[in-house]
Every structure is written in C-alpha cells, then in structure tokens.
Structure 1
Amino acid sequence: MDRLLVKSVVKAFRILEVFDAEHPAMSVKQLAERCDMDRSAAQRFIHTLMQLGYLQRNEETQLIEPSVRTLDIAAHYLHAHPLVDKVRPYLLNLSKETEGSVSLTILDGQDVIYLSRLVSRNMLDTDITIGSRLPAFCTAPGLAMLSQLQEQEAMAVLEHSERKPYTPNTVHELPAILERLTQFKHQGYALSIEEYFLSDISIAVPVLDRHNRPQAAISVSMSRASSMPEEMERNLSHLLIATARQLSRL
C-alpha cells in the first residue's frame, strides 16, 4: 500500500478521465456509476472540479462536460517538452518534401502518443490529433521505438498490449512482431502497411537520446492510393533517418 497516495486526488482524476467520444457529457448519476462512486461523493468531486474550472454544466442539456481549461495541462506539457518546439521546422521540411502527413510521437506504456502533427491534404482523414493514442505494436512509430529497446523491455510492452487485429493486415502474433523488430532495428526504420487504418501506409524512424534510447519517433503517412510501400521505402527512408539523426543531436 502506497502511504503517500492521496485517494481523493485519484478519484478526482478518475472523473476527468471517464469522458470520451462515446461519453462527451454525463449526468451526476452516470459519472458516479462510471467512476464506481456513490452519488454523494461524486457530487462533491464534480462540484470541486467545476469550481476549479475543469468541468462545466451544459446550459442546454444540464449535463456535466469537460471545460476548455482541461487543455491547459496538455499545453503546459507540450511547451515544456524538449523536442516539440525544436522539431517543428524539421516536420515542416518533411511535409514539403514528402507531401505526406508527418508526426512526432512518444512511447507511453503500450501506446504511442502524438505530440505534433502536420496533415497533408492528400492524406485520408484518420482522425488523429495531438494527444491521440494508438497501439505501439502495430503502428510504424511504435515499432520504430520498440525496435530500439532492450529485448526484455520490448517484450514487456508487447506482453501487456492488447494484440488484436485492427484490420485484416495487422501483424499481431508475438513471434512475428519480434521478428519485425529485429528487422527494423537492423534497417533503421519501421514500415506499417494498413495495420491500424485501411489504406494507410506509414514509415517511421526513432529519435535517440545520448544513451541511444528512443525518446521519440518521426513518421510520414500516406494513402495507398497515392503511394506504394516500396516507393515510400525507397524515397523516404534515408530522408527520415537523416532527419532523426539531426534531432538526436538537439
């Protein structure tokens, strides 16, 4: 038992975290049920979060919803991250040279999180925004970063991942993923073909820190209608590797 853990803070954050695309606004009763709290306790936490400005009541529906202030925490994180501001000129250059959607991601547990993204007008809409999470085991940025971890570390991530087929092309069997990681580490980049989104092809390269550990990944995504995998590998792999090396020295 963690004696320093403040349970009331845990419960407050639980309320903020239960909102999602399927539950953008809820009643006090719904929030209490989803957070496994009694209604009285939920009411107190909701009132406190409303007073702090992180929750608000929709005037039309009278339901509780997150306020725009919840973005402040994310904004503070992005401004403090050592790579986000520095990487933007490089992403702009990649966007111009490749005409694809370019992204900066980090590894968080079993997921990759998007910290910066420039979307191409030629790219299909995959509904990825800053802060979006995708599984690492079947996305190019995730595979690129996993390939640079120690084998035991990568295995731990994969074993705790929900390795399910998101598309008919998803490589989700553990032996096959491990084989890919060996290949990607050797060649210096990872390629994912329609594994999470149909018609999406992505190529990614890890950005290493001074200890040669992956601190992030940069990636380019294109629609299969506009590019073939072999063409992307041939035209973009060296460009991405060179860019990642520059970022590793920042």
Structure 2
Amino acid sequence: MGGFVNSLATLPEQPDEDSPAIDQRQFVNSLGKGIAVLEAFSSHPGAMSLQEIADLAGLDKSTVQRMAYTLLQLGYLRKGLDGRGFCLGTKVLDRAFDFLRSWPLIERATPVLNELQLGSHERVDLSIFDDLTICYAIRRQSKRQTFYATLVGRRIPTFCSSGGRAIMARLSDGEVDSILRRSDLIALTPKTLTDPDAIREEVQRARREGFSLVHDESLIGEVAVACAVLDHRARPVAAVHIAGSLSEWSPESFAKRFSPLAAEAAGALSGAIAPF
C-alpha cells in the first residue's frame, strides 16, 4: 500500500515534541538517502526511472544514480524486465525473512493463527504495533480477498485499523493523544473516521468491550475485530485480527461471533514474550 514513504534523506530542523530528538552527529546521511531510495517504492511498486525515484525520495538525480547503482550491485534493486528502470531486488525479501524469524512472538503466533483460521473460516492476521502504523506480519487468507490485503508487510494507519484501535485502548490517554496528533488523519475510504474526538470514542469503546470493531474504514465492505497482544510488561506490541465481509455479516453479528475467538488467541500470545 502506497502513501507511507518516510524519507530519511532530509531531517526536520525541529523534531516533533512527541518524537525523540535525532542526534545529527550519529545520523549517517548517506545511509538515510539509500533507505529513502528503497522507500520510494512504497508509493510505486513497479519499475521506476532515476528521475521518478528522485522525485519520490526528495533527492537530486545524481545522488539517486549513485545510490541506485550501489543498491543494484548489492541485490536490493534490480533492472526492470526490459532492462530499463529499477525495481526492488530479492535481497529485500531476505531481510524480511530475517525479521520474521528474529521475534519469538511470530513463531509462537503461527500455530495459534492457523487454528484460529480453521475455526473461524475468515481471514486472520497478526499485526505489529509501529507507532503511527501497524504492520501485518502473519496473514491467513479466506476465500475472497483483495490481493494486496493478503500480503505480509502491508501497513495501515493505527488510528483507523481494528488492530491499531485495540492497541490504543491499552495505552494511556496521553499516548493516544500523541498518536492522533502526529498522524496524518487522511481517510482511506469515505467511511474512515478522521475526527480525533470520534476516534477517541472508539478507543474508549474498545477499552470497555475488550476488543475493537471496525468496518468500511480501511476497505469498503470489510468488517474486522481485533484484540491487543501484550508483552511481559502488559504493554501492547501486536494485535490479532479477524476480518470478514459485510455482505455476509452485520457488524454486530460479526463482533458477537468472533470477538471471543480473537480475545482467546490474543490472550494465549500475551504475557510471556518480551519486545525486541
């Protein structure tokens, strides 16, 4: 899903008050520019010219040319099918593999989500909390899904996702306010809540009910329930989702049927696993 490029090529002179200050003496600008080149592909998954990459990364073309050549030699970029332009290389998948095998929660969650999918016959996911977004680390597909919605690595804004709101329900009001203040409250669908007070109400509802229910906000026609996974300090680090179709379920009937299953799975994963 595009729209979440976080360019490291240039840093703000005044960091956000909620964000940790960046030590310019420690920050390696050239490395940041290389990462910005890779992140440009989040907005354009196909082959791109040097100029297209430069425009998306916020860099000049000559810098991008050097970065692209280096990344090409290292396998993180490859030439397009016709030999023109650049695409992401397979080495990117190697680093995703390294990440997935590095965190015990993902290994522990895999059989739990397999059983959850067999029992629910709907799509089930594990997402990881990453401040302003959640990132899907495990996805178990049901009978009908949009292609990109089945892929590991997809990011959704925390403020409008079932998993994100379930996680925010386990944070303090101040932490919730910080997430909302720093988020780009841009609607993904015509029904996405973008009013901070309305989102806070949904977070409060999730606190009371023990799960978050979201429908039509990240994908029209989809309903999802989610429960937070807590680490050994009772801090939210991930979420278990169950998602279905509004053509088959009302939001209320979906929540009644599947919120206990999501809560049971999240509970089974909580408590014993330390964060990174």
Partner of 1:125: 146
Find 1:225's aligned residue among 247, 251, 257. 247
Q: Secondary structure at the match of 2:104?
A: coil
Deviation at 1:59, TM superposition (A): 5.0
Aligned to 1:6: 28
1:73 corresponds to: 95
Q: Is the 8 A contact 2:163 2:227 kept in 1?
A: yes
> Structure 1 unaligned runs (5+)?
none
Structure 1 residue 246 corresponds to structure 2 residue 241: no
Alignment of 1:16 with 2:38, yes or no, is yes
| 2:134 is equivalent to residue 105 of structure 1 | no
CA distance in 2, matches of 1:187, 1:148: 12
Quote the Cα distance in structure 1 between the aligned partners of 2:159 and 2:58.
31
> Aligned residue for 2:12?
none
- Corresponding residue SS for 1:167: coil
C-alpha displacement of 1:99:
0.8
Range with greater deviation from structure 2 (180-189 or 16-25): 16-25
**Pairing 1:53–2:75 present:** yes
Deviates most, 144-153 or 34-43: 34-43
Match of 1:156 in 2: 178
Separation in 1, partners of 2:45, 2:92 = 16
Bigger CA drift: 206-215 or 33-42?
33-42
Aligned counterparts of 2:58 and 2:43: Cα–Cα separation in 1: 20
Per the alignment, in what secondary structure is the counterpart of residue 97 of structure 2? Answer: helix
Query: Among the aligned pairs, what percent are the same residue?
Result: 30
**Equivalent pair of 1:126/1:197 in contact (CA under 8 Å):** no
| 1:211 counterpart SS class | coil
TM-score by length of 2: 0.84
SS at match of 2:72: helix
Aligned amino acid, residue 148 of structure 2: D
> Equivalents in 2 of 1:168, 1:150: separation in Å?
29
Q: Which amino acid aligns with 1:212?
A: A
1:225 partner SS: coil
> 2:231 maps to what in 1?
209
2:48 aligned to which of 5, 23, 26: 26
CA 1:247–1:135 in 2, change beyond 3 Å: closer, same or farther? same
Checking the alignment, whether the CA contact within 8 Å between 1:206 and 1:217 is kept in structure 2 is yes
Matching residue's letter, 1:15 = V
Structure 2: give runs of 5+ residues left out of the alignment: 1-22
Change (3 A) 1:16 1:124: closer
Q: Which residue of 2 aligns with 1:93?
A: 115
Q: CA deviation at 1:205?
A: 0.5
Aligned to 2:208: 186
Which stretch shows the higher mean deviation, 84-93 or 24-33?
Answer: 24-33
The answer to whether the 8 A contact 1:57-1:63 is kept is: yes
- Aligned to 1:19, the other structure's residue is in SS state helix
Alignment match, 1:174: 196
Q: CA RMSD in A?
A: 1.7
1:4-61 Cα offsets, whole Å, 9 max, x none, are 1111111111111111353522223333343343433322222211111111222514
Q: Secondary structure at the match of 1:127?
A: helix
Give the TM-score taking structure 1 as reference length: 0.93
- What's 2:258 paired with? 236
